[in-house]
Structure 1
Amino acid sequence: MKIQCTGVRESAGYIDGIEVDFKFTNNSDFEQSVVLQSLEVNNKEVGGYLHTIILGDRAETDRLTIKDSDLKRAGIDKIYNISVVFRVYNHDDWDDVTTNEMIMNFN
């Protein structure tokens, strides 16, 4: 599974916050699920949800929305970094692999 961050921006939808876009490329023959395991902003744990199913030899995109209310609850008013860890499940045998931490830094 190849995971790429393809964009970060302020939310343009009905939920105020930050949107982080990801592209998931499944290079195996098996259907796989990707689930957000942990999310930190400025090294503080923040709530978030992302679950994507990718068929074999396909790519999918999905968006993680970090709500302003969750950032405020953590005392965050400016974002310096976002750290994510995903868990990938193979639907053939439900073995799972945790990905390396992906850190996005901002000035």
Structure 2
Amino acid sequence: MKTPVLGTLLFILTGCGSTSAPPPMGSGGSQWYQAGYHDALAGKIVRDNNQLAEWYGNPQVDRDAYLKGYNAGQVEICLPDKMTAIGEQGRKFPAACDLSDNAEQLRQEWQKERDKGSP
């Protein structure tokens, strides 16, 4: 009885996984490029080298690759339609977009959708 339930649960959870396209390969698709890309998509602020070394267990941080990946993630997430979706979902404004050239417009779009969902 447990096996079919567990199998069904795993099947359902697999459908909830992220289906976003893999990040563009920059700097040879290095660990640091990937880390920066995923940090930006998660809406996180840029991490310093000490945080990166501790988090990834590698003191040889490639700062340039990390920042290139972060920039690629910003380009992907810091768009008005993405802010609409994030606001509709009731999520926080992504810190990765705070320094975008159009940060004010993005925040307004996000806030408009957040306000619609407020009681």
Between Structure 1 and Structure 2, the one with more helix by share is: 2
Q: Same fold (TM over 0.5)?
A: no
Give the TM-score normalised by the residue count of structure 2.
0.23
Q: Between Structure 1 and Structure 2, whose CA radius of gyration is higher? A: 2
Between Structure 1 and Structure 2, the one with more strand by share is: 1
Higher relative contact order (CA 8 A, sep 6+): 1
